[in-house]
Amino acid sequence: MGLVKFIKTLFKPEKQEDRMKKFLIVGLGNVGEQYKNTRHNIGFDVVEALAEKQNVSFEPAKLGAIAKFRFKGRAFVLLKPSTYMNLSGKAVRYWQTKEKIAIENTLIIGDDLSLPLGSLRLKSKGGAGGHNGLQNIQDLLGTSQYPRLRFGIGNNFSRGKQVDFVLGKWKDEEKDKLPNRIDKAAEAILSFGTAGLQNTMNTHNGHATDK
């Protein structure tokens, strides 16, 4: 191979086919020790569990921490934004652009008060539902049409205590149920990348008692 031809291969544009095999998986949460093991950080917990299963580690990067792996011919980029929840869209937009990942291949994982503890709900689009992280992502991407995996945290709080509940630590009886449901969420992410959105919705959406 001649020198000129070799140099051209280094700057060869990424094929559309290759782009469709790359996925950005964003676990929402807040950075800092005080937020570890809180309900609002379940997105972090899910992508951390997936990274551990794939034997990869998160490394500090711009606007977050990144871990990468390949699975069944697909490339997965895991992101934990370091912008704090309310500015998550900055990190999502940056890494979506940097990695040249299509919006339909960008999956956001976050907590949801409207779902029972451990329930999983994968959707192709939707509103923010009062979730500040999702709202910022929607604002900065300019659309609400991106896939999201909602992880139920329940709503067992008294009137006026919603913020305390969301930012609070898991109770012991809740902790016992989490490992299995986090594993299911990690499986759903891999299925999203390999089997597709619709198939994954059919097989993984449901309450903790369903599957």
* The domain defined by 19-204 carries CATH number 3.40.50.12160: no
**What are φ and ψ of residue 57, in 5° steps?**
-120, 150
Looking at residue 168, its pLDDT comes to 94
Phi and psi of 154, rounded to 5°?
A: 80, 180
The catalytic site residues sit at 40
Whether the model clears a pTM of 0.75, i.e. scores above it, the answer is yes
Q: How does pLDDT run across 92-121, given as a tens digit for each residue?
A: 999 999 999 999 999 999 999 989 999 999
Nearest-CA neighbor of 66 among 89, 42, 99?
99
| pLDDT value for 4 | 56
Tokens of 162: 């919603």
**Cβ(113)–Cβ(161) under 8 Å?**
no
Q: Is 186 exposed, middle or buried (0-12, 13-18, 19+ CB in 10 A)?
A: buried
What tens digit of pLDDT does each residue of 56-104 get?
Answer: 999 999 999 999 999 999 999 999 999 989 999 999 999 999 999 999 9
